[in-house]
Chains A and B, each alone.
Chain A
């Protein structure tokens, strides 16, 4: 821009600079690498680039909300990938299944934070300087300020200036009365705006630090516990565990608990029938090494229990039939409580029973496998087309539906196996009456297996619950950051920073001219009223003289002439 002649004088520029927002750099200044680097740094810390980065950040967050994410549901990602064979590899390359840890997403927020640091830290120093210095002195030409008032009085200038100084102090302005020939009062108020603004931006760093610490030093494990069973928080007992750089399996907090029982309640009427209403896991737990000192506690959804540095969350629940298998001689070859996994909201559950120690039959070593459904509320009848579907998640009419297999379970190979699946490669289904052998059992019922294999009985059932054990430090830092951010925002958005100058001088006609001018951030309309109030109060000490003609202010002073875009500089 070549409007240097339109620029206000230097004293006005410093008077008008109320925000220390970075000044935009239009072109590289200086030469060579240093010049360019300085230019790039200035670009990066400029408001324009900060805006672009903010905008990019919100844009970049969108794909993660529409494409399944590994961090939330790895299973869903696999299903999606299987269904979109052609584009899945491309998405994979673009890290679209891990948006929030992707290179490009990280790059945006890191740049944003670098920009923020480059912008806010100098600004903080500058503000410290502002606090220590006096409010900027009155510009020579007060009429150029956006809010202005003036009148003539008989009172002498020193009295008026001193009164103005006193009044401004009373209004809790930081006011400075400059002595000397050109006595004038410079006052400023609303520093909390800047404090708030700096606090807000700085607390974003606290938030980031909290995030970072959490991701470096947290760990989470999962565990399924059947009613009556216990659990100790060690690597061998957890079903799964994900640690981080500073929280590995050896750092697990020492504690354990026993699940005494689990209560669930459901809606029984209306269009929300079957919706869950309450889940409570009643436990007794211990901390440290002494597992004999037990304390009772409840864990509910939304109400985790804090135990020894970890939080234990209730995640899911289901049913576990208690099953006994006897061989043809009546000897018990299997007795266990087998968790079945829910498949739908009415807890139609699937599960398997692996009888690895059946022993020999007809001189040959065999194993048995069972596969089937547990229905907490079974329909009176279900045909082959509808299949076994539970009608309600509560256990109103429990039923176990099983089919049986014989052969080799594959468990002896030493390879880890999924306990919820049968490997059917070396198994064959038992037949009965010309079809697959199948039985529906209510609790207490016994199924006589075909081929003289003995019996399987559905003795009873228990409930199980899954827990997530989570160790996450850094939450309090993030929370503190968040709270400070809100406080800072309130200050930054609701406090108005404004300056008022008062100057009384003796004019050529011997009368004293009192001039008041005010400047505020552009969005404020109240500065005019504030100035008027002050002026009215000031008239106690500097009564206005009757103007000979109409008391038009614009007669006494020229109307402010300012470049039209001057507001945008503030």
Chain B
């Protein structure tokens, strides 16, 4: 009898501290907002999840991701953002500028990690690149500012072309910078540039038709989520009209676009994932500096080149990060 008591005593003493410790903590919810369809954003989401994994958050184990897609309907962004806020998510991922701005309008307390193609400071997302302040931070992947570089590449590709076209989305706030960059670069090498605006499929069609009519020799497609989501159509149009085009993202090249140059977006989203993980662990977005992409990739599609009857200089091919044949 007494031994039993004794063991009870010892046992109780041992388990007591451990029992006291355990407490349930809630699984954080991360909202992922993108102004495209789920399909259009799935690789970015995948890259984002990889970044989260790197910080120790595995979906459906210790984190939940709530994806909100607009399916192309940009006007839904504010409502979706508000929903996420109502749901009291721990963090919102703003994928591209539209989503990020909507999220920023919806909350000033919930941390927002963005992956935008623009200057975060210029767009009022952060106070400074090194110290954002506020509740936003993320990756500013500069693709709009690569306009000049892209023009240079395009020129290298088709040196005889003197009149180039720009396809832009007037709704996109980046457009202006892109256009400026390209026009400045064009001027510096003595080329003429002309901007064509399109806001949806139909307008893209019209734009292509137009620039073909004008006999413009080359095209630069501006960085825009709409365009990225419609990459198939655009590439097809370019092929149809046999216009040598340089794009911003690798999707285009993979779909058949001639040339793309831009920051590696999966890398960018991976970085946002890492940041998201860090914020979930307790770091403040105000103190996480905005990242700039470090890797840029040039992808050239030789098949398309051949189809266009273009002879791409071997040096260019040699420089390409990826060659699609």
Q: Real complex partners, A and B?
A: no
Query: Which B residues form the contact surface with A (CB < 8 A)?
Result: none
